[in-house]
Amino acid sequence: MRSNKQKKLEAKGWKIGSASDFLKLSPEEEAYIELKLSLCKTLKRLRTKKHLSQNDLAKMIKSSQSRVAKMEAGDSSVSLDLVIRSLFSVGVSKKDLAKAVSSAT
């Protein structure tokens, strides 16, 4: 079972290459990353639930498939803004949003 810390490491591009595996995140950074990953997961869940391909979603938000893939992977190059805009585009409910926020570990 992967630890939460490793999960955060896997947010591609974050602190990778730092000398230590025990990357020190401030509580704020940690909360931010957890929230982001939670929302990315929600996005993927809602997209597949709606039977949309990454390409479909990309067109809806006037972006590209590769960016959608990066979003869903929690890539550090993607902003929360884009993730949240995308969530609204797939019709996320306030309830689902709030749940994703609350459940961010």
Partner DNA sequence: TTGCAATATGTCATATTTGACATATACTAA
Partner DNA sequence: TTAGTATATGTCAAATATGACATATTGCAA
50 sits near DNA (criterion: CB under 7 A): no
Task: Report the distance separating Cα 105 and Cα 49, nearest Å.
Answer: 23
- Pick from 67, 54, 73: which is nearest to 11 by CA? 73
Pick the stretch among 1-9, 15-23, 30-38, 62-70 that binds a second copy (CB under 8 A): 30-38
Q: Pick from 15, 76, 96, 104: which binds DNA (CB under 7 A)? A: 76
Cα dihedral 27→76→36→44 (10° resolution): -150
105 sits near DNA (criterion: CB under 7 A): no
Q: Pick from 9, 32, 41, 73: which binds a second copy (CB under 8 A)? A: 32
Structure tokens that stand for 59 in this block: 């067109």
79 sits near DNA (criterion: CB under 7 A): yes
